[in-house]
Amino acid sequence: MNSSNSCIATETTAVVMGGSIAGMLTAQVLTKHFDRVIVVERDQLKEAAEQAKQRPGVPQYLHVHALLMRGQQIIEQLFPGIIAELAASDAPAIDWTADCLWLSIRGWVSRFRSQIITRTCSRNLLELTIRKRLIANDRLEWRSATQVTSLLNNQASVTGVRIRTANEPEVEIFADLVVDATGRNSRTPDWLQAMGYEPPQETVVNAFLGYASRWYQVPADLQTDWNCVNITAQPPGTRGGVIYQVEGNRLIITLAGVGRDYPPTDEAGFLEFARSLRSPIIYETIKKLQPLSPIYAYRRTENCLHHYEKLSRFPENFLVVGDAVCSFNPVYGQGMTTAALGAITLDECLSKQGNSIGLSRKFQKQFNKVVNLPWTIATGEDFRWSTTEGGETSLINKLMQKYLEQVLMLQSQSPEVHQLFLEIMHMQKPPTAFFHPRILMQVLKQVFTSQGQGEKLSNAESLSTSLPAVVE
């Protein structure tokens, strides 16, 4: 951290391993607290937007990436004016209650205007826009196509990293702080063991969800009153899908299946999977569009939490962030926003910390509190399917799931419930908001009415209404 009250100024250095969203947001925060920040990124990154190019370090790179409203607010806080830059790059604005057709487990939800508005774009555009801002920061150094081969340490603390670029000899970089933002493939558990530390315990919850995505050009004559379509799976049904509009007048269409009901990647199979969904709207839309890409598949969707916060010993001057700590089923779109929350949590820890002693363990405990909310949402949703494996569900959690199922049943009937659901999904409010007396009364009324009538809702009944219009 920046030195003060010293006769000889000593330059402080931080190293961030990983240049994706978590790494870049972390690096931006560190430029406030360190004289020199070095980002080490394994992939060779381009400085121009490229359509449909795979990025090895982010295997879900070419699929839908939703930046939730809380994440958008934090990124704007870290990089003032960046949302206007996305708008200038043709990223469309979406009002998630008015511009999204949403088929809930009970039927189509009402559409109405709200303030839950974000810019939708490709992962490529978002990364490129952030990276340009970082590269313009004179405190930051970018090492692309470079890999960290090991940590430098003196057992009690991490003192730097050893790196290799292409076929060049390995180089040592000494640092006052090292941050692991390398994602699901983090090598930190192995490195800790090599240093004589216990690796973290791991909790895995796997719904065996897989998805397949394809990019399409929007024809000039396609007339819609939506920017997004979300067809949710209705348990015990396993299939869902989404249409997501991004820059360049393009759509990404993603089909998903739970319990190893994976969507095919061949033309006929992909189309047939779309036709099997609870609504024909995605199937009918696909038939009108010109594909821009092959069909990409992704199946590594298990939720995985590394319990660094529980370790009794942890090296000083070393932090683990983002997916390297907690990776979620990507279908819920929480990863980038959780990374953003981690960045501002780090900023708060560094601002309050007078020195680096104890910073590592303090941050890991604080970051664990950050991931608790998205972890609860993601695993709670995944546990709705009997085929989900891993983790433990307590009696209290089971009762919570039953209650939330009733809340979701109200989503198509109550605009208030739908807006609250989206506010919680976008991390604007905690899940405890579902227990507000007004919501609780609606749930109780629904339960008593259903029991009295012996109501059994079929898929056909839930889809009997037409697509909802926007209410001004």
Beta carbons within 8 Å of 434's beta carbon, 6+ residues apart? 403, 404, 407, 420, 424
Q: What is the pLDDT of residues 296-313, one digit of tens each?
A: 999 999 999 999 999 999
**How would CATH label the architecture of 208-298?**
2-Layer Sandwich (3.30)
Q: Is a pLDDT exceeding 70 seen at residue 105?
A: yes
Q: What is the pLDDT of residues 390-418, one digit of tens each?
A: 987 777 777 877 888 888 889 988 999 99
Strand partners, 17: 40, 180
Alpha-helix runs per DSSP H in 242-334: 267-275, 281-286
Backbone angles phi, psi at 160, to 5 degrees: 160, -165
- pLDDT > 90: percent of the chain: 75
Q: Is a pLDDT exceeding 70 seen at residue 54?
A: no
Q: What is the mean pLDDT of the chain?
A: 90
Consecutive H or E run containing 13: strand 13-17
Amino acid residing at 63: H
Write out the two tokens for 293.
């890409």
Domain boundaries, the chain: 13-65+124-204+302-379, 208-298
Nearest Cα residue to 258 out of 375, 377, 374, 387: 387
Nearest Cα residue to 470 out of 163, 191, 108: 108
Q: Is a pLDDT exceeding 70 seen at residue 3?
A: no
* pLDDT at residue 34 in the model: 96
At 167, the pLDDT band (50, 70, 90 cuts) reads confident
* CA atoms in the 13 A half-sphere facing the CB of 321: 34
* pLDDT at residue 402 in the model: 84
Using a cut of 0.85, tell me whether the model's pTM lies above it: yes
Tell how strand 303-306 and strand 202-206 pair up.
Answer: antiparallel
Q: What is the pLDDT of residues 173-198, one digit of tens each?
A: 999 999 999 999 999 999 999 999 99
How many whole angstroms separate alpha carbon 154 and alpha carbon 206? 37
Alpha-helix runs per DSSP H in 311-411: 335-352, 359-382, 395-410
Neighbours of 104 (CB within 10 A): 21
* pLDDT at residue 61 in the model: 80
At 470, the pLDDT band (50, 70, 90 cuts) reads low
How many whole angstroms separate alpha carbon 246 and alpha carbon 295? 17
Nearest Cα residue to 67 out of 80, 51, 83: 83
How many whole angstroms separate alpha carbon 110 and alpha carbon 93? 19
Q: Which CATH superfamily is domain 13-65+124-204+302-379 in?
A: FAD/NAD(P)-binding domain (3.50.50.60)
* pLDDT at residue 206 in the model: 97
At 471, the pLDDT band (50, 70, 90 cuts) reads low
